[in-house]
Structure 1
């Protein structure tokens, strides 16, 4: 049970970084006709994405690391496929 909790926490933390990068990506915002983001905290986003994986390795949680390593790119591709504003629109 501990491995599952640690893995989910790591995935969610990395997902927050991916969301931050997705929301502030200049090319993505330009393509969808959105105004430029005021600032782009790329270093913070990269730390949010990569730090959980490093922490899992240091903690010796190899199974959790492998699950994290599979889930993070999948979540990134899923977020990239959703157009901006699609989640906030009411139908």
Structure 2
């Protein structure tokens, strides 16, 4: 069961990271040149991050779905924290 949860979680993690790297608001705050992802791409990435959870829910495995859901929330916080730490300048 753990393997069946970790694989979808890894896939969702890739989409969450990709989505957060192109976030227009974060990029503006960091004064980066590019404007970030287009709205259509952001929607597609969000859907891609949710598809593994939808597949787990369709299989009817409630425990795996809850593990995946909690894992995505924790990974989202970790990605946000990591990107905010990378954006800080020394001496801030």
User: What per-residue deviation string (whole Å, max 9, x for no partner) do you get for residues 6-63 of structure 1?
Assistant: 1001111111111111111011011112122464311221122111111001112211
In structure 2, the residue matched to 1:23 is 21
What are structure 2's unaligned runs of at least 5 residues?
Answer: 87-92
Over aligned residues, Cα RMSD in angstroms? 1.8
Aligned residues, how many?
A: 84
Q: Give structure 1 regions of 4+ aligned residues with deviation exceeding 3 angstroms.
A: 37-40
CA distance in structure 1 between the aligned counterparts of 2:36 and 2:19, rounded to whole angstroms: 13
Superposition TM-score, scaled by structure 1 size: 0.80
In structure 2, the residue matched to 1:78 is 78
Choose between structure 1 and 2: higher helix proportion. Answer: 2
What are structure 1's unaligned runs of at least 5 residues?
Answer: 87-91
